[in-house]
Structure 1
Amino acid sequence: MRPERHLAEINIARLKFPIEDARVAPFVENLGRVNAVAERSPGFVWRLQDGDSDGATGIAWSDDENVIVNMSVWETAEALENFVWRTVHRQFYARRAEWFEMLESQHFAMWWVEPGHEPTLDEARERLALLERMGPTADAFGWESLPQVQDWRTMRCA
């Protein structure tokens, strides 16, 4: 019997403007609200935090200060799906083009972890690189590899 596993996700994004810029204020000002909803959501396990803000915006992903990172762990794919597509998070996801540039490289990946494991940034970098290099595998994948979840097919933006 396979041990229970949790679902880790990494999502990086590049802000169109510096984080202090008023043009990204609606996003920045609501990070705490959205993260609080995540933390109260059934199936939430852990999220990356910098200790200084309502998220992880103080954690450097690269030399580019406009690149921000979000990483979390969920008990199941369904729990992550519910948070992403059926909470206030969806409203901000729908507005992402206002605040974020399109990245040419892979920016989102998921993978299974043992319960209690908190992924590192290096691990997340490896998963993004693997997904970009190999496409979906058992070690790094996107929504399309999770047949038990379907909301992403109809609710995502093109």
Structure 2
Amino acid sequence: MGTGLKKKKKDLDKAVMGFTIVEIMAVLALFLILSAGAVTLFTRTMASYRLQQTADQMAWEIRTQQQEAIAYGSARQMEFFLFGNYYQIMEPEYRNVFLLPGIEYVYISFPPTGYRSLLKFNASGCPDRGGTIALKNKYGKHRYVIISPVVGRIRISEVRPAN
């Protein structure tokens, strides 16, 4: 009977011992690798979200200017500043709209006037010319805000327009 107790005590001691330092280090290393991947994925996802949000806001502002030109029967104008990463709304109130952090202009295809590019809508809502505003994030993803000439359709694309 004494032998059985010693065997059970030996099994109990083995079960109570816990984890070795090697096992703990292996689990920590695995956790750190997975965390680093998750952080990288999260920052890329946030950068893509900010890029899309910036393009959406810009397209909305352009559409608003177009609709106000029609509603009030007067011309509207927006100014884009390539080197300042912002644009200006001239009416109904003058204000600057800055691109979100990490987002920048790649190019603006409207003809430059000094250090800015102008987009004008006449009283019927037609743009004075069509063009593209190209945006990118720090990972090189692009969004294009495209204004069609004559009809003034405003759209966002992930693909660079042909012309």
**Bigger Rg over Cα:** 2
TM-score (norm 2): 0.28
The structure with more strand, counted as a fraction of residues: 2
TM-score (norm 1): 0.29
Structure with the greater relative contact order (CA < 8 A, sep ≥ 6): 1 or 2?
1
